[in-house]
Structure 1
């Protein structure tokens, strides 16, 4: 359903519709496109669509395919023009947008091949200018674009119109921004393999479309979405030019909307319906904005911060400060498994049973120690029965050279021990031959996938040994959705859910820790979490232990929970932080340079420690106890 419980805003210069989940917004957009196609069919006309690539429109394309298969939506009157293509790029390359569009849409509908137009990344450079002019002419000859679908990049680019693009720009060859190249690296394995240029429709071409729909899903788009919607029109954020178009719809999920003023600080917009969560957020915001500890905030501070209305609700700054301060203080605990023989009425975790079965789900083989290594160590040190379940093999995040190195080791070992030498030589030769001829982005052979999975498994087992987790308590689930050998994964399936159900039934934990990246609709973490949610939903009415099980969510390597969301903050001493670092170091294939480093070039241990330090510093700024570092959790009540 749409999020409608926010006040009207004067900050937004474009109409924004917020949906709870990306899937709901994608379905709504797909139905609008379908209605356009059907209306044009009734008139005997063509529907001319501008289409986008990337993760944002995939849900839209999936719903269009469903409408074609189940509700007889025909695309025979549809003409499409894609926004862009890498240059140079062969159409059969896995990273090409030709391949993407056929894989995600065209192969599954009845569109006529001659009605598909995608920029040609194979042209010699001396023909590019003429080709781009012809692309523009083709759009005009079809009567222009009836509807243009867009995503938005973190630089604010639409298509590949990077910062500096003119509002009058047309289809052309452009240089890619370094940030765009970094974001594209996940598809090309390494940044150095990403093309430095691309062919793209211009901003002017896009602006001529009769209607424009821009999609933005996930927290990663929140900052640039705010700049586009609330900022000034500027070529520094090319998407801001859309403010000048008469017919634009911005469709987002609640996570992409997090930075919008009406969502983040609604008291700056108008009257609010104050609840405990919003009060806590407002007081923390005011404390950090004024650089005053919470207990030092005054009535004047609240008035100057547009929070007079909150004072009316609370009575005085003194009472309000104390109320919020105490709430935050009670999140701090050195006993993540509960403190024995204590009054647990206001503690994050209950005291009983004193020794708990704790199950830590780790989507990849290193998320446990990276994201909550200090808490894991403390649970073990405090005598709890700690289990770690690695949900996926993590095999695509291993360099080919490491696979070759371990294959060499296996052969040397077999020859040294004189065990299975002939078979090992044959397997070694298969690995060498495959890696020698492997194409960029090509799916690994089953043997190479197995080797890479064993590398990650060995590292995870070593980290658990270092942390003191008992060997029988280390579980490798290898959920099937992940095992594609490529970045693209299969949808969550019944076999994945059953794997989670099985381990839950086996352990019957008192507490579960899981990667709570609800804010990324596309990532492996989200799929792993959805499997846990579904498994618990099925078990809830069947098994008694579920009712007494607490589910704690941690964040991944890139982000931490906002302070106002945190329900359990576990302090980490300098010594514990060093132990956590050493546990992360056991994951040697991810050391120095990971296959998928994301947007942050630092090593995982550096990002993790910086995040933990920052959380502790924020608590200190709010006037609470000063710690070296902190790991944070939010409880999910299922």
Structure 2
């Protein structure tokens, strides 16, 4: 019987087989907890093999998905005496060409996150070699395959999934019987890796990878996916037909594969997104809202025009049976959505707040806006920011990280040259210019260069906040230590990061906290900053002032809350849209070819505007007022 039937998975996550799904999957509330479960399955297998005095042969993955798994395995080794002496590992892939000591190499990654911290024998570690000569590469791949076979194949294969549906680096078009080989990387795959390489131009175009056939021979396969960016490909892999265009679908034919998902990565699965199409539902208020918004979109009618036939024809007859006439249900839902809309994000003074998203007292609130990077505030909630200032609230803005890594060397040279012109006798500008012009590939910026890059972003932030009417005294730059590595890879947050935020919140005693709730990357800066906030709130929850503190989450430039999740919608007039755009323009270092563009070529102000306009359009299609744009928020209850 496959291991995934073990009761621990069924209890730990959300598991329910449906007629739509062709790969077993378990959904967890958080990627961190899911990673612990996976790590403990691996540990259990290692111990079982030790008792039999056998090798435990692991296929290992890299990237952001398995990081927490490796952290837990290291902890089990250090604190619970888990030994890896009997473990043999084979890594899935490596960029080509790639030096082992390059910070972007998977050799470097694996030693940094796992191998340097456990007692595995060096001769038992196998990672594709990105330095093999071109003429020797074919034979090298054959030998790698033979080496796996010499150990009897893989006992356990850990996988992530790329947005092209690749596993390992088996890109679309890979054959289901393919073996270890060199391969050309898809543009989307290279785009997703661009931030680690400080630009897509630096990402190798080729790689060495285990084949689909090699992976499928593993006795047990666990494939992990975190964040909403993976949701579409997860659905296609689990529910779609087997196809070479999505190589991960080949796992449908493997008898012992489990997809491990967090909530965001699972959100497109039929049983998660539209459970009423799967079978009987337990209709709570949240699910009702989700279903009716979906139905309105599905039949392309405003909510108030939905009929009983619309409900019955789209799998929602049980909702009518529970609620009664569609007329009453439609009005109830329309009013729920209407009550999310407010032009007073801090609460409207002397107004009935029974059906408003925010309280009307105190009339003048202390507000803390947390911005992970020095531009997330204006990109994600610039209009609301301006409203809060304009309506007389005491607004504080805290930039959690310096954002220095996102300033290009070319931009920094321009500033250093200005400094040199103003202070021709000064040595600092000379040193900075020399450092940047002599900088080698993958070199970490000097402290002086990083400081200047941080100051550039500070200046841009102050320009934007002044434009929105906020005095400098209410702007804080926290420079959280976890971020200050000088590289795209950040350190885990520590007690120092939490303490900095705790002190700030205790000082301000806010009635409102606005924070970035974008969870696209579980190891990205937004997620880490949010985790630090959650830890701070946990520490502070018994404080008297916290009883009057509400936390509102906004999302970043790439993604918006679903309509049924929105609890406060702040409409913007055309003039306010323009003011928000101008505030974003102050962040000149992040304009015109920003370093971490992702696969979206639009500038941040365009993304933000179009996202806000799209939200307003969705509200209007549901039958509500027609606004130029809407910024959206979801309340976090701690």
* Structure 2 counterpart of 1:281, from 290, 293, 299: 290
**Pair 1:386-2:387 in alignment:** no
Structure 1 78/6 Cα, relative in aligned 2: closer, same or farther at 3 Å?
A: closer
Q: State the match for 1:143 in structure 2.
A: 152
RMSD: 1.3
- Displacement, 1:428? 2.4
Q: State the match for 1:9 in structure 2.
A: 18
Partners of 2:518 and 2:559 within 8 A in 1: no
CA distance in 2, matches of 1:604, 1:463: 15
Partners of 2:420 and 2:430 within 8 A in 1: no
- Displacement, 1:138? 0.7
* Structure 2 counterpart of 1:188, from 185, 197, 203: 197
**Pair 1:536-2:509 in alignment:** no
**Pair 1:22-2:23 in alignment:** no
CA distance in 1, matches of 2:495, 2:16: 41
Structure 1 370/501 Cα, relative in aligned 2: closer, same or farther at 3 Å?
A: same
- Displacement, 1:519? 5.2
Partners of 2:15 and 2:25 within 8 A in 1: no
Q: State the match for 1:418 in structure 2.
A: none
Q: Deviations over 1:572-615 (max 9, x none)?
A: 11111001000000000001111111231110000000100000
**Pair 1:447-2:456 in alignment:** no
Deviates more, 1:207-216 or 1:236-245: 207-216
Partners of 1:188 and 1:440 within 8 A in 2: no
**Pair 1:434-2:435 in alignment:** yes
Q: State the match for 2:501 in structure 1.
A: 500
1:75-474 mapped onto 2 (5 Å cutoff):
75-415=84-424, 421=425, 424-425=426-427, 427-474=428-475
Q: State the match for 1:633 in structure 2.
A: 633
Partners of 2:409 and 2:436 within 8 A in 1: yes
CA distance in 2, matches of 1:559, 1:581: 18
CA distance in 2, matches of 1:293, 1:41: 63
CA distance in 2, matches of 1:567, 1:548: 18
Structure 1 368/295 Cα, relative in aligned 2: closer, same or farther at 3 Å?
A: same
SS in 2 for 1:188: coil
* Structure 2 counterpart of 1:40, from 45, 49, 62: 49
Deviates more, 1:487-496 or 1:293-302: 487-496
- Displacement, 1:76? 1.3
Deviates more, 1:579-588 or 1:35-44: 35-44
- Displacement, 1:400? 0.9
SS in 2 for 1:579: helix
CA distance in 1, matches of 2:409, 2:128: 32
4+ runs of 1 displaced by more than 6 Å? none
Q: For structure 2, list consecutive stretches of 5 or more residues without a partner in the other structure.
A: 1-8
Provide the TM-score with structure 1 as the length reference. 0.97
- Displacement, 1:540? 2.2
Q: Deviations over 1:173-221 (max 9, x none)?
A: 1110010010010111011111111010111111111111111112111
Q: State the match for 1:491 in structure 2.
A: 492
Structure 1 6/208 Cα, relative in aligned 2: closer, same or farther at 3 Å?
A: closer
Aligned length: 629
Provide the TM-score with structure 2 as the length reference. 0.97
SS in 2 for 1:12: coil
- Displacement, 1:477? 0.8
CA distance in 1, matches of 2:164, 2:547: 46
CA distance in 2, matches of 1:481, 1:575: 38
Structure 1 3/291 Cα, relative in aligned 2: closer, same or farther at 3 Å?
A: farther
CA distance in 2, matches of 1:4, 1:174: 36
SS in 1 for 2:340: coil
CA distance in 2, matches of 1:5, 1:129: 44
CA distance in 2, matches of 1:161, 1:433: 42
Partners of 1:176 and 1:196 within 8 A in 2: yes
Partners of 2:301 and 2:622 within 8 A in 1: yes
Partners of 1:189 and 1:596 within 8 A in 2: yes
Q: Deviations over 1:234-255 (max 9, x none)?
A: 0010000000111111111122
Q: Deviations over 1:472-505 (max 9, x none)?
A: 1111111111111111111121111111112112
Partners of 1:8 and 1:269 within 8 A in 2: no
CA distance in 1, matches of 2:322, 2:508: 47
Structure 1 4/80 Cα, relative in aligned 2: closer, same or farther at 3 Å?
A: closer
Q: For structure 1, list consecutive stretches of 5 or more residues without a partner in the other structure.
A: 416-420
SS in 1 for 2:218: coil
Deviates more, 1:291-300 or 1:60-69: 60-69
Q: State the match for 1:56 in structure 2.
A: 65
Structure 1 52/179 Cα, relative in aligned 2: closer, same or farther at 3 Å?
A: same
CA distance in 2, matches of 1:119, 1:481: 31
- Displacement, 1:21? 1.1
Q: State the match for 2:547 in structure 1.
A: 547
Q: Deviations over 1:412-431 (max 9, x none)?
A: 1123xxxxx3xx22x22322
- Displacement, 1:162? 0.4
- Displacement, 1:6? 6.9
Q: State the match for 2:576 in structure 1.
A: 576
Deviates more, 1:110-119 or 1:460-469: 110-119
Q: Deviations over 1:394-425 (max 9, x none)?
A: 0101001122221111121123xxxxx3xx22
- Displacement, 1:143? 1.0
Q: State the match for 2:6 in structure 1.
A: none
CA distance in 2, matches of 1:317, 1:146: 55
Partners of 2:17 and 2:24 within 8 A in 1: no
SS in 2 for 1:633: strand
Q: Deviations over 1:367-419 (max 9, x none)?
A: 0000000111111222222111111100101001122221111121123xxxx
Q: Deviations over 1:84-141 (max 9, x none)?
A: 0101111111111111111111111111111111111111211111111111111111
CA distance in 1, matches of 2:15, 2:630: 32
